[in-house]
Amino acid sequence: MSDLLLVIGVGVITYASRVALLAKHRPVPKGGIGRFLDVFPLALFVAIAATGLLAPEGDPAVTPGLAAAAGGIIGAALFRRSLVGILSLGAAVFHLTRLVIS
């Protein structure tokens, strides 16, 4: 099997598993699970972006990663419960900051 077919196959399986869970509308859970789902998109974005926030010396650095985290936090305030909205705003701020800095 070629590397391209392997990458395409893994991509199709990954995408299909995500779509299968999102395709059917389900009511929002109540209680602890509902509260967890309210903050999960923000927590997930922060976990993804955290690796780019610190400079090698361990001091905070003004980087596109830091701007993306700020964009994600603002996105969480604007688009509650929308992972797509949070990640889109974070990515947009990241790319705009990268254009301005370089």
pLDDT digits (tens, 9 = 90+) for 43-70: 776 676 665 566 545 666 667 777 887 8
pLDDT at 41: 74
| Spatial contact of 60 and 94, defined as CB atoms under 8 Å apart | no
Mean pLDDT value of segment 85-102: 86
Question: Is the pTM here over 0.85, yes or no?
Answer: no
pLDDT at 58: 62
pLDDT at 14: 87
pLDDT at 12: 92
pLDDT at 48: 67
Lookup result for tokens 């109540």? 30
Q: Which of 37, 35, 52, 61 lies closest to 90 in space, CA to CA?
A: 52
The per-residue pLDDT of the chain, averaged, comes to 78
Task: Report the sign of the C-alpha dihedral through residues 8, 16, 46, 78, in that order.
Answer: positive
Q: Is the pLDDT of residue 71 over 60?
A: yes
